[in-house]
Amino acid sequence: MTEPLFFAEYLPDTGTTFMLTGDEAHHAAASRRLAPGDILWLFDGRGGLARATLGQITKRGHELALRVEERRTESPSKPSIHLACALPKGDRQSVLLDMATQLGMTQFTPLMCERSVIKPGARGPERWQRVCLEACKQSRRVYLPDIHEPASPAKVAACHHGAWIAHPSGVAVGEMLAGASPDALTLLVGPEGGFTEEEVRQAVEQGARAVSLGPAILRIETAAISLLAVISLGPWNAG
């Protein structure tokens, strides 16, 4: 699949002609300069993937007539990764979500910690979803991450037994991965001031396991992406 990839909430059946509208259509016609007869791909964020031929371009590039030539559903990659993470400042939130999506994040929960500096705003989830969508298109991942409501570390750990919580006292991440073949993982990453000992204790009581990324004090997004990168290169992805 080397042709450009675009998002459509609904994918019609093979042989159907339908209209792609809005920002995705304009991006295809204006930014990518696609022309009638060109091939493109569409995904619905739930594993659905379709190859289509571009027909007409109307409404100054804001509406494209597409004929679906092929449609299929991709299986989700494993392990599915739920990142529950304190929010970094400013544009670093976009960097975090962009890179995490590229590395296979399937769910995101903003963590509300005792030492959190940034709290999610009302428009945060909408912005995060756009960032994740663009990252899916860039990395060719056809599952759009689910964005959840803010939660405490203890609540996330209680809902996802066996979560990993990043903490210097934990087991080295390499040891945690040795011989593992998980279907799903939940990763808890705290603010730059770190989780409090009480937050760690509560999460561990709920079944979380402490995992260490080494002695360095990392930025939020660095810690999260380091964990995701190690997991994406785990033994279950060999070959």
Residue 239, pLDDT > 50, answer no
Using DSSP's 3-state secondary structure scheme, residue 108 falls into: strand
Reported residue count of the chain is: 239
At 146, list the tokens: 């689910």
Would you tell me how many other CB atoms lie within 10 Å of the CB of residue 2?
A: 7
Closest CA to 80 of 191, 238, 218, 236: 236
pLDDT, one tens digit per residue, over 25-62 is: 999 998 889 999 999 999 999 999 999 999 999 887 78
Contact 135, 101 (CB under 8 A): yes
pLDDT, one tens digit per residue, over 112-150 is: 999 999 888 888 999 999 999 999 999 999 999 999 999
What backbone phi and psi angles, to 5 degrees, belong to 145?
-60, 145
Bond into 79 cis (ω within 30): yes
Task: Give residue 1's pLDDT band: very low, low, confident or very high (50, 70, 90).
Answer: low
DSSP 3-40: S-EEE-S--PPTT-EEEEEHHHHHIIIIIS---TT-EE
Task: Give residue 179's pLDDT band: very low, low, confident or very high (50, 70, 90).
Answer: low
> What's the CA gap between 156 and 189, in Å, rounded?
11
Predicted pLDDT at 235: 59
Contacts of 130 (CB under 8 A, 6+ apart): none
> What's the CA gap between 160 and 31, in Å, rounded?
41
Q: What is the mean pLDDT of the chain?
A: 92
**Residue matched to tokens 């042709």:** 3
Q: How much is the pTM? A: 0.91
- The identity of residue 176, as a single letter, is M
Average pLDDT value for residue range 184-204: 95
> What's the CA gap between 193 and 172, in Å, rounded?
20
Residue 214, pLDDT > 70, answer yes
> What's the CA gap between 27 and 32, in Å, rounded?
6
Predicted pLDDT at 180: 67
Domains of the chain: 5-73 (2.40.240.20), 80-237 (3.40.1280.10)
> What's the CA gap between 141 and 133, in Å, rounded?
9
β-strand pairing of 80-85 with 184-189: parallel
